[in-house]
A and B are shown apart, each in its own frame.
Chain A
């Protein structure tokens, strides 16, 4: 048993490649726990960062600086009474949040956290992610239907219409990026997520910079469409218009609502992963070409450990600056302990063996974290679009732009063949 574990760990393959169900299950569990932790920390981060942008403090009481707030929220939601509206379709009411959550989590199977740190590397990876996240729309509509109330139904239909409209622009932008994978030496493209990042490594450029400005344009289109896809500000009218037309989540309370909430954050993480993989070089470290060479590789490999040590230092500074009164003593101790844990993780990440293995995952996570910050930043800054303006942006602005970018990318990509065909000169 131990030998087979050691043998698997020594080879550097994904469970899909190794053909091992056991390891696939382990990886799936790890991803589930990881995504759940990420959602919990997103909850805390959103409240704190949004609060700081709004010149206030955010949660400060539940645990030091509100660090235990997500746990308190989760506990509170768990112990709430489970209310099902009269006349609601019980089975569909039960399935809808589970459905949305399942689709959001299933997309993580193909997300490549590293070269071999994925559950499996399907050769239709990106198509799989897009398809499964589209299924989430069905869950939203089921939720509105099963509530047996006029306003959630309208809200869910609006939400669904919005998600579907922006998926078209997303899909076209994704196709532009996939087209770019075929510009490499082999001349063939790939839909597999690992393959796309490999193509970026082989072409020695992140796709956001390649064929400037086409890569950037496709990236910007995707970045806007993904915010609308996940119903976040500034496109969150179906959710936030709870004054007049209530969102589809109205009749859900307690645990079921928390599942919707979890699914929303997981969907945000999933589409951010797509963006990172397709345009921002996935798990590749920054500046692989400018700052290349073993010395720079070594320098960059220290960054994960140093990041955690930096976070630990922030915790320790916070501990020192806590007011020295009796009521806050437990919080001070807690913050110090948390800082110590972070420092331990940081030191662990500086150990040479762990350093190599953790590089890829760290860079991927860091890039996804940047996107999460952008999500929160948008929420704090922009007003909301009205629903008709939202649909106008999706259909009349993003769709033509992404279509144009796709066509121009295709033409530029085959320019040599095109030129040869036009002038009759063979290569």
Chain B
């Protein structure tokens, strides 16, 4: 385990006795990049005392593709397909964040019909992302079946995406200034059918897991993160809400048409894994609520605002963030007046949430590390970009 090219000798070199806070009864264990449970290529180095975890270090970058650098060499409209590939589980949200950020830079607003369509697609995407989380998290803890049930529901959502924009995963659904695809015939009916079929299924998943004593034993009290720690670390999303902080950008800094819908923000009490599970299940229910309201009242009108053919924003910078399924997804775009952005910096929620891993697993057992990584709901495409 001696990789000389990392400058943390105290962590990796067990032979030399150094003046560090480590003593020699500790063991260093490597959860390598290829791992069935790290949701991507994440490398976690654990310092163990027997079974207890004393500290962790995450080594990321195995999926780094230079997305932000690519952005500097593409025009604004051309960069749109690339953002889908960051959080590939919830591609629609990424596209929404980017389009909104550029629209903020251009000072245009998407028309009302486009906003409703965007909200519907984003909430479907939220359900899809949470379904992936549910399946993989349950799989890590050992329940083999919820992953298949969750992906069956996700399949329905992906079919709607395919009917709408032509792709299931890397949707490229929105454009700067609105939407380019008009909703197809039967879109509202499809969404309503999905919502009707989905709520009983969600009850079924809760029946399978929520009161199950083994599930509760594995998740209650595991990976507790207090509200102060959350805010100090910059953790957002369901992790923050499960620790008791009621902060959701859809309510606090409303964007798109969210202010027109009624929905609740579920929060948790203890900030442990069980609460995060409950919060995400409730979020799926609230997403269905938003969908049913939105689909009833899509206004007529244009779907694309007046945006110049060649997008050349005035020099300036903008930061815009949205509530992606995993947390606060932010785009910081600096424009120098040309057709290509000077800098696009993405604030990925998974990247910031991953920093809380160390705090959450100290004192836990090794088997809990996997559960905690699952409950943070990270996607390495986003962490590494």
Indicate yes or no for A touching B, C-beta below 8 A. Answer: yes
Residues of A whose CB lies within 8 Å of any CB of B are: 50, 53-56, 233-234, 236-237, 240-241, 243-245, 379-389
Q: Which of B37, B138, B149, B366 contacts A383 (CB 8 A)?
A: B138
Q: Which residue of A lies closest to B37 (CB)?
A: A243
Contact A240 B367 (CB under 8 A): no
Residues of B whose CB lies within 8 Å of any CB of A are: 29, 31, 35-37, 51, 138, 141-145, 148-149, 152, 208-209, 212, 214-215, 217-218, 365-370
Contact B148 A56 (CB under 8 A): yes
A-side contacts of B149, CB under 8 Å: 54-55
CA distance A373 to B152 in the complex (A): 25
CA distance A178 to B145 in the complex (A): 38
Known contacts A50-B144, A53-B145, A243-B370; A234 and B214 CB within 8 A of each other: yes
Per DSSP, are chain A's interface residues mostly helix, strand or loop, or mixed? loop
Contact B214 A244 (CB under 8 A): no
CA distance A241 to B31 in the complex (A): 12
Known contacts A54-B145, A243-B37; A383 and B214 CB within 8 A of each other: yes
Contact B142 A383 (CB under 8 A): yes
Contact A380 B367 (CB under 8 A): no
A-side contacts of B370, CB under 8 Å: 243-244
Q: Which residue of B lies closest to A151 (CB)?
A: B29
Contact A244 B31 (CB under 8 A): yes
Q: Which residue of B lies closest to A54 (CB)?
A: B148
Q: List 23 A-B contacts (CB under 8 A).
A: A50-B144, A53-B145, A55-B148, A233-B142, A234-B142, A234-B214, A237-B142, A240-B142, A243-B31, A243-B37, A244-B31, A380-B144, A380-B145, A381-B143, A381-B145, A383-B143, A383-B215, A384-B218, A385-B214, A386-B365, A386-B368, A387-B51, A389-B218
Q: Which of B29, B37, B142 contacts A382 (CB 8 A)?
A: B142
CA distance A266 to B369 in the complex (A): 34
B-side contacts of A387, CB under 8 Å: 51, 365, 367
Q: Smallest distance from the beta carbon of A79 to chain B beta carbons, Å?
A: 26
Contact A389 B143 (CB under 8 A): no
B-side contacts of A383, CB under 8 Å: 138, 141-143, 209, 212, 214-215, 218
CA distance A244 to B209 in the complex (A): 24
Q: Which residue of B lies closest to A389 (CB)?
A: B217
CA distance A233 to B214 in the complex (A): 11
B-side contacts of A386, CB under 8 Å: 217-218, 365, 367-368
Q: Smallest distance from the beta carbon of B215 to chain A beta carbons, Å?
A: 5
Q: Which residue of B lies closest to A379 (CB)?
A: B144
B-side contacts of A379, CB under 8 Å: 144
Known contacts A385-B217, A385-B218; A244 and B29 CB within 8 A of each other: yes
Contact A245 B217 (CB under 8 A): no
Q: Which residue of B lies closest to A387 (CB)?
A: B367
Q: Which residue of A lies closest to B30 (CB)?
A: A244
A-side contacts of B138, CB under 8 Å: 383
Contact A384 B148 (CB under 8 A): no
Q: Which of B29, B208, B214 has the most CB of A within 10 A?
A: B214
